[in-house]
Structure 1
């Protein structure tokens, strides 16, 4: 589906470039593309530069994209997580964390729980999230920190004041998010 859409777009772009060239207006720079389709745009030979952005962070939505062989795209690693604390474990198959709609954007689906197979983010309220724990998995502990992979990185970043750069479990950098809350 993505491949067909990009093929149509690059065909239209080529036709436009040809029309410009015929009028004596060559296109030296053709820019476009995105993280989810860069592979197809790059292969088209039309673009002189690609404008991918989300690849720097990745998210659950881009993680569902497949490459030309039908496999998950492995070109980029997940780098953006929302850290959350387990606030309650009311039942063996359920836990509650402190990350809801005010912490994570849901326009591309719920977040994934990183590194915890069998635990899924089942639903948000404003301030909290319900985690569903598979019968074969151990529930998270009260107070445990979990990493959530946002469904969509861009609007999730907009909900926070700071990026906290962590490497090997240590904070290495803290950067302000200048456009925090800016919506147009």
Structure 2
């Protein structure tokens, strides 16, 4: 499931399970936004920008190669060093940008699965 599939009318009511973990790396002097370490190289955006999971007052608004900008529309801004879970705009091309799936259950890493086609060339 990704943000693009979830926007489709009649999409199955799956619980989100795929996330990209993004760290807040700066809170610029201009209040109301933060910068995270997840841009184009971490999350695909061609089907739409990622969503910030479980933080309704935060909106991912733009990506450069290695950074993303999150606007704080409501509530408290995340702090530098805080981790945010991003729901990719499109899951397939997001997964192939990473070497591993990290399986987490109840807040603990349970398994690591390699992305077998990562870096594969025909």
Common fold: TM-score over 0.5? yes
Q: Relative contact order: is structure 1 or structure 2 higher (C-alpha 8 Å, sep ≥ 6)?
A: 2
The equivalent of 1:103 in structure 2 is 42
Alignment partner of 2:3 out of 60, 72, 89: 60
Cα deviation digits, residues 20-41 of structure 1 (max 9, x gap): xxxxxxxxxxxxxxxxxxxxxx
TM-score (norm 2): 0.94
What residue ranges of structure 1 are gaps of 5+ in the alignment?
1-57, 68-72
Alignment partner of 2:104 out of 151, 159, 166: 166
Q: Which SS does the other structure have where 2:93 is aligned?
A: helix
Answer yes or no: is 1:113 the counterpart of 2:56: no
Contact 1:164 1:173 in 2 (8 A): yes
Alignment of 1:1-184 (within 5 A): 58-67=1-10, 73-90=11-28, 91-134=30-73, 136-182=74-120
Shift in Å at residue 128 of structure 1? Answer: 0.4
| Higher strand fraction (1 or 2) | 2
C-alpha separation in 1, matches of 2:119 and 2:43:
13
Q: Which SS does the other structure have where 1:148 is aligned?
A: strand
Hey, which bits of structure 1, 4+ residues long, moved more than 2 A?
A: 181-184
Shift in Å at residue 92 of structure 1? Answer: 2.4
What residue ranges of structure 2 are gaps of 5+ in the alignment?
none
Larger Rg: 1
TM-score (norm 1): 0.63
RMSD: 1.4
How many pairs were matched up?
121
Shift in Å at residue 182 of structure 1? Answer: 4.2
Specify whether residues 74 and 133 from structure 1 end up closer, same or farther in structure 2 by C-alpha distance, changes over 3 A only: same
Contact 1:158 1:182 in 2 (8 A): no
